[in-house]
Amino acid sequence: MKFTHIQKGLLGINILSVLGFGAHYIQSANYEFVAYALSIVLVVGLLYGTLHITRFPTYIIAGITVWGLLHMMGGSVQTVDGVLYAYRIFPFFDGGGDFYILKMDQVVHAFLYGVVGLMTLHLLREVVGIKTHTIFIACVAIFAAAGFSIINEIIEFLATVNLPETGVGGYHNTVLDMIFNLTGAALAVSGYCVYKKLKM
């Protein structure tokens, strides 16, 4: 399959991001984010390797690219609260420790699984071919994205078990991640459906 100029450009951004940040994480012996860089390689490889089947639109590929950049920046860009992932955007709720809303990490989680929700919706409607039962299919896409996010939480758990030091956090962090994963998917898929409905 031949890629469009935009798709090639986005692929180039992904490659440069992984190579640049990956080299930084290897040099600083941050093996947690080395593993995350490898996961991005896997995701982008699957994304581009299956485009002839999935036919994902440009906005989804762009969404994955933005997530990849934010993910790589999250463990290296310094802020007043430490790395970017730890940055406290606004104190909607502060229960102490990890129990804090709103952090950059939570925004990135919501963004990623919003994109995954849109990917699932696209696959169900455009590849599988289900053009009816919009509300039901939207719900399936939302909960499929939230379910898929469990893989992310398992990777984070494995990092805490196998690495001497990580920035993953504890129980509150895990549950808040799951809440933002579901919220991001719900907002993205619902917003897309409303937008398409208004265009009809």
Taking a C-beta distance cutoff of 8 angstroms, is the pair 184, 111 a contact? yes
With a cut of 90, say whether residue 67 has pLDDT above it: yes
Q: How far apart are alpha carbons 131 and 54 in whole angstroms?
A: 16
pLDDT average, residue stretch 185-195? 96
Tens-place pLDDT, residues 93-134: 998 888 899 999 999 999 999 999 999 999 999 999 998 999
The answer to whether residues 64 and 133 belong to one domain is: no
pLDDT at 98: 81
Residues of the chain with pLDDT > 90: what percent? 70
User: Are 95 and 183 members of one domain?
Assistant: yes
Structural domain span for residue 49: 1-76
**pLDDT tens profile 23-34:** 999 999 888 788
Mark whether 45 and 104 lie in a shared domain: no
Buried-exposed string 164-193: b where 16+ CB fall within 10 A, e elsewhere: eebbbbeeebbebbbebbbbbbbbbbeebb
Is residue 169's pLDDT more than 70? no
**172 shares a domain with 194:** yes
Q: Are residues 127 and 192 in the same domain?
A: yes
Instruction: Look at residues 76, 104, 119 and tell me which one is the last residue of a structural domain.
Output: 76
Return the structure tokens found at 64: 């994955």
Write down which residue in 76, 104, 133 finishes a domain. 76
Say if residue 112 is in the same domain as residue 50. no
Tally the domains of the chain.
Answer: 2
Q: What is the pLDDT of residue 17?
A: 95
Same domain, 152 and 196: yes
- More confident site: 158 or 77: 77
174 pLDDT higher than 80 = yes
pLDDT, residue 166, reads 54
Residue 165: predicted pLDDT: 59
Q: Which amino acid is at 91?
A: P
Digit-coded pLDDT (tens) for 70-89: 999 998 899 998 899 999 99
**pLDDT at residue 43 tops 90:** yes
Task: Specify the pLDDT at position 161.
Answer: 73
Q: What is the pLDDT of residue 111?
A: 97
Q: State whether the Cα torsion 6-11-12-18 is positive or negative.
A: positive
- Does some domain include residue 82? no
Do residues 70 and 168 share a domain? no
Given 42, 76, 110, the domain boundary residue is 76
pTM of the model: 0.90
Residue 81 lies in a domain: no
Q: What percent of the chain has pLDDT over 70?
A: 94
- Which pLDDT belongs to residue 164? 61
- Using one digit for the tens of pLDDT, what is the confidence trace for 12-24? 999 999 999 999 9
Q: Are residues 113 and 198 in the same domain?
A: yes
pLDDT given at position 168: 57
